[in-house]
Amino acid sequence: MTRFDDYWGDPAIADTLIFRWNSEAAARLVELQAGTIDGMDNPGSDDFSVIEDDPNLALYERPGTNIFYIGMNNTYAPFDNERVRQAFAMAIDKQRIVDNFYPRGSIVADQFMPPVIFGYTPEVEWYEYDPDMAKQILEEEGVLPGFKTTITYRDVVRSYLPEPGVVAQDFQAQMAAIGVEVEIVVMESGAFLDAADAGEVDGFHMLGWGADYPDATNFLDFHFGKGASAQFGDGWEDIWDALNRGGALADPDDRYPIYVEANELIKQHVPMIPIAHGGSGCAYQADVAGAHSSPLGNEYFAVMTPGDRDQIVWMQNAEPIGLYCPDETDGESLRACEQIHEPLLGYEVGGAAVVPALATGCDASDDLTEWTCHLREGVKFHNGAALDAEDVVLSYMVQWDAAHPLHVGRDGNFTYFNALFGAFLNAE
């Protein structure tokens, strides 16, 4: 990526930004130590102290604004049995996984929401680890003895899952301890995400989520709301109802008891088993001024000065799957997208406070059903065209209208829009 000198604000400091990727944390660190890259994502669990002890490097830790979970699809037997899903929720020693495979700053997940995000309700406690009870229930439901299944994942390091291969093996061993035989299946990242969204993954699957914005709607509505993908199979109307009510209110005091209800229902129905909120970080050459990590995973490289070099080279865990950003959900793609696309309102660099971007501000009606955003003047696209309201409308229409000629993307799911706003216009 090259600097846009006619940018409305402060242009990027470096002339060039280069994205590279390597799935191995150790390989990323070797390149950082050798000086062939300026920054890297997700150091390995054992590398935090190595980076801190090296005067040529700098570590920037992230809070665990994410969730790693093991999902189940209720359209496949025996996962169509709620009691069976509850039994599997009792069978996993989550503390063992966090202690053995996660870096410092990581905690065991006792619900889908991280504690730092509004919508987390500590009074809703997850099932206690009880493998004997889990085995007894599976025997009572006729699943054991003799049950064989799979656990499917993509071999991509994420802040919520720093060591996917060994975590899968540990899960396999824990299931074997209660008499369940699990085969490990590894898929290519894009194919796996597409299959999960389409509800085509049988058995267990390993996935996670990092915050796009700090609210329950980003975590719960996207995954369990009426517009959610088919990842967990058929949805639950009682969860839909609670999330609709919680998302329609603005007062946190009014919303909170609704999310207690929603989290209780998610615990009851067990679409997935929450495992961990992963601590993570970024590492940079010590001479990179403006280096930072973001709690939302959207590090902004335009503000960084890479020493006396005219380019900044960033290495992440995997290749961006695509750059038609409305049709992507993968963090590796979205980080790249966020360097070249801009919203009406954004987040402060390295934080989660809302700041003006292409809009100088937005005003809401009294009932919060209508928003008026005031576009910044003097914003130009790379071809010289001026930003206007029609551009904003079009950016929404290509996502909403399934018949629009630009509603194409990489696979056409537009999962974010459907999950957060409901049905498409002109959908088949």
**Distance between CA atoms of residues 62 and 217, nearest Å:** 21
- Residues 3, 294: contact at Cβ < 8 Å? no
User: Would you say residue 59 lies in a domain?
Assistant: yes
73 and 181 both lie in a single domain: yes
Q: What is the CATH number of the domain that holds 201?
A: 3.10.105.10
User: Would you say residue 352 lies in a domain?
Assistant: no
User: Would you say residue 333 lies in a domain?
Assistant: yes
270 and 199 both lie in a single domain: yes
Residue at which a domain ends, from 277, 296, 327: 277
Residue 15, amino acid: D
228 and 109 both lie in a single domain: yes
> Which domain, by its residues, includes 115?
66-277
User: Would you say residue 387 lies in a domain?
Assistant: no
- Residues 325, 337: contact at Cβ < 8 Å? yes
Best CA proximity match to 329, nearest among 182, 422, 231, 248: 231
Q: Where are the beta strands (DSSP E) in 33-95?
A: 39-41, 57-62, 66-72
pLDDT at 261: 98
pLDDT at 427: 87
305 and 179 both lie in a single domain: no
User: Would you say residue 362 lies in a domain?
Assistant: no
Question: How would you write 154-210 as a 3-class SS string?
Answer: ECCCECCECCHHHHHHHHHHHHHCCCCEEEEEEECHHHHHHHHHCCCCCCEEEEEEE
pLDDT (tens digit, 9 = 90+) per residue, 54-74? Answer: 999 999 998 889 999 999 999
The pTM assigned to this predicted structure is: 0.85
**Distance between CA atoms of residues 266 and 238, nearest Å:** 10
User: Would you say residue 50 lies in a domain?
Assistant: yes
**Distance between CA atoms of residues 301 and 51, nearest Å:** 20
How many structural domains is the chain composed of?
Answer: 2
The low-confidence residues of the chain, meaning pLDDT below 50, are none
229 and 80 both lie in a single domain: yes
198 and 83 both lie in a single domain: yes
**How many residues in the chain?**
428
pLDDT at 226: 92
238 and 134 both lie in a single domain: yes
122 and 41 both lie in a single domain: no
pLDDT at 142: 97
148 and 34 both lie in a single domain: no
- Residues 302, 74: contact at Cβ < 8 Å? no
Buried-exposed string 42-59: b where 16+ CB fall within 10 A, e elsewhere = bbbbebbeebeeeeebbb
Residue at which a domain ends, from 290, 321, 347: 347
What is the edge-to-edge ordering of all strands in the sheet holding 107-108?
Answer: 107-108, 272-277, 66-72, 204-210, 148-154, 181-187
160 and 266 both lie in a single domain: yes
**Distance between CA atoms of residues 92 and 129, nearest Å:** 6
pLDDT at 214: 87
Instruction: Give the N- to C-terminal CA distance of the chain in Å, as an integer.
Output: 37
Residue at which a domain ends, from 296, 316, 347: 347
pLDDT (tens digit, 9 = 90+) per residue, 294-330? Answer: 988 899 999 999 999 999 999 999 999 999 989 998 8
**Distance between CA atoms of residues 54 and 51, nearest Å:** 5
User: Would you say residue 411 lies in a domain?
Assistant: no
Q: What is the CATH number of the domain that holds 305?
A: 3.40.190
**Distance between CA atoms of residues 76 and 56, nearest Å:** 52
pLDDT at 260: 98
Placement of tokens 């801190």 in the chain: 52
